[in-house]
Amino acid sequence: MSASKTSPQPRSTANASQTGGRQVVWTLVASAVAGLTAYYSSFSRQATSISTLPSSYALCADGQRIYTVDSSRPTVDCILVEKHSIAATGTLGEVQAFWDDYQNELIRKFYGNEPSAKKPLPVYNAPADAIIVPGLADAHAHIVQYGFKMQLRLDQARSLSELLDLLENHVRAHPPDPDTWIEAMGWDQTRWSDTDGTFPTSADLASRPSLASLPIALHRVDVHALWLSPKAVALTKAHLDGTFPDSVPGGEIVRDPTTGTPTGIFVDAAMSLVPIPKWSAAQMREYADRTVQDALAVGLTSIHDAATSVAEFELFQQMDEEGKLPIRVYAMVDSDRLSPEERKDIEIHDPSPAAHVRMRSVKLFTDGALGSWGAALLAPYSDKPDTRGIMRLPEDALSEQVREWWDKGWGVNVHAIGDRANKAVLDAFEQISRSATHQHEVAQRRPRIEHAQIMRVEDLKRSGQLGVLTSVQPTHATSDMWYAESRLGPERIKGAYAYQTLLQSSRDGVLPLGSDFPVEGINPLLGFYAAVARLDTEGKSPHGEGGWYPSERLTRAQALKGMTLDAAHASFAEDTLGSLMPGKRADFVVLDRDIMDESRPFADILEAKVKATVIDGKVAFGGI
């Protein structure tokens, strides 16, 4: 790859002097057969398009601007790609020497020491200032749901009025049948400038004449609350044979305190009462295709899909069989969406750590989310003393389900936001560890807490002692920081979003990072920025420009490892993915600037762009 954006060129003798006098290796060894010589000479002189890069090549970023996440050699000048894997790293001289030895060995084995059989090594340069990092992974995301959210961006509204305008514009542009549900995602009442931060109501939707008679179901940004129009409430009531239940285990139908009638907000398990039509296969494919496209554009090569239905898993398999799934998907089967028959028959699918579709973990849910007052707390909310949140799975039921899946051989990953929920998950894993045949069985099986958001200080350390991985999302901290302390108070906040503490407590120094997209943005550099700066995208925090609780920042090296090697470790793939070292897959990203340079301002991270995303040694997005 060269400085040309559309036509990357092998290094030539003409530019050798510009790169420190490097001799370009693009000639055949002596005594070449005429036909082979003509072929290779012709190939070396033409502009090689991105889509026809050779199966073997060296890529260099002079000045050790390749960040390998290999502790034995953290930065190098060049990597050597042989087919789908990294064959060598180091200086250009070192990778060339490796290539020569490799070619000589092949020639001796297959060609009887015929020098003309030796193949040349194309060498490409990353552009000035660019860096190369391992392929970026999102350790917690939702693939199909992201594509769905992008159909109607409720998260763009900064007031209730703006959101209603968005809906009205959507209805005008896509006139619905009166019985067709309008479904969207992304509202967040804590960000609206024209309300007091309380939940909206059905009456708010009915305030606009064009919306009043339509069945509308709007998912909150965290997907733990559903906001219904009056028509949708009526359809839900009819679906329930005309009566709403007084209570919902693991959920809540929010009611008017005076009249007792539903306000239009259904939280957590109560959302399952609403008869929203299921997405068709065509819709799911459209949503997944959009996500893959956007993921490649921001440098994602692996995604842990953190609640996969059987239908979604079959969709991923179909896309892979069609050659339309360049990214690697590590799926966690969604326990909540399994039918009894599926729960009985579902099997682990893990052909290899390099496979583009794998499923060897199950996702369980303990509680709701902080933004909807659903995170399960040990003591009442500081800003809502009448509630402690929602345990979707009480402690005994959680322990039973963890044991059930554990005994079947599955990895067990559990959603836990509040301190009560996190304690319950750790208690369940600790019970298993006490009865484990092998002392380190729990750590070997790599159970995960997804979010680990609010924990008792002693549980921050206990997670590491047990070998439980804490899979966190740095942008949750910077999204929630404006209201989190008012919800939790000054003491509980000490155990919240404590990423550096969790990393230091980890038995193996592992902290997988994700985004939870579409709850947050899909760009992993937003998470990188949030992890190292603890600021919002405007450079602000409740504690000023120094960052929110800055002692919990990650270093840039820690953040990069969290979204590469640590994410690979969390999916049992660290020997195959996650770093640029010999023997691993050639998944890497070319960025247009050095986000790893500690001297650069944090804001520069947000300006970084992906020049190319490479998977299995082939360019899947972009060009240089």
Token pair listed for 60: 């260099």
Phi-psi region of 539 (alpha: psi -120 to 50; beta: other; left: phi over 0): left
Angle at 56 between CA 51 and CA 57, to 5 degrees: 85
Alpha-carbon gap, residue 587 to 196, rounded angstroms: 46
Alpha-carbon gap, residue 539 to 537, rounded angstroms: 5
Token pair listed for 206: 């009915």
Radius of gyration, CA atoms only, the chain: 26
Helix (H) or strand (E) holding 525: helix 524-533
Query: Tokens 């290539």, residue?
Result: 99
Among 390, 439, 442, 381, which Cα is nearest to 416's? 390
Q: What's the DSSP call for residue 574?
A: T
Which structural domains are found in the chain, ordered by start?
Answer: 1-135+581-624 (2.30.40.10), 143-273 (3.10.310.70), 299-580 (3.20.20.140)
Q: How many CA atoms lie within 13 A of 593 on its CB side?
A: 15
For residue 178, the model assigns a pLDDT of 83
Q: What is the dihedral of CA 516, 520, 524, 530, to 10 degrees?
A: -110
**3-class SS at 309?**
coil
Token pair listed for 162: 């703006």
Query: What strand order describes the sheet that includes 56-60?
Result: 85-90, 78-82, 56-60, 123-125
For residue 277, how many other CB atoms are within 10 A of its CB?
10
Alpha-carbon gap, residue 133 to 589, rounded angstroms: 5
**3-class SS at 139?**
strand
For residue 6, the model assigns a pLDDT of 33
Q: Which residues in the chain show pLDDT less than 50?
A: 1-49
Q: What's the DSSP call for residue 268?
A: E
Any residues with CB less than 8 A from the CB of 541 and at least 6 apart, and which? Answer: 478, 481, 534, 535, 547, 548
How distant, in Å, are the alpha carbons of 79, 361, 395, 548, 588 from that of 91?
8, 40, 55, 40, 18
Contact 253, 201 (CB under 8 A): no
Q: What is the pTM of this model?
A: 0.89
Contact 86, 587 (CB under 8 A): no
- Enumerate the β-bridge partners of residue 364: 414
- Enumerate the β-bridge partners of residue 216: 182
Cα dihedral 68, 69, 70, 72 sign:
positive
**3-class SS at 332?**
strand
For residue 52, the model assigns a pLDDT of 59
Token pair listed for 398: 């959680």
Contact 402, 429 (CB under 8 A): yes
For residue 177, the model assigns a pLDDT of 86
Alpha-carbon gap, residue 159 to 187, rounded angstroms: 9
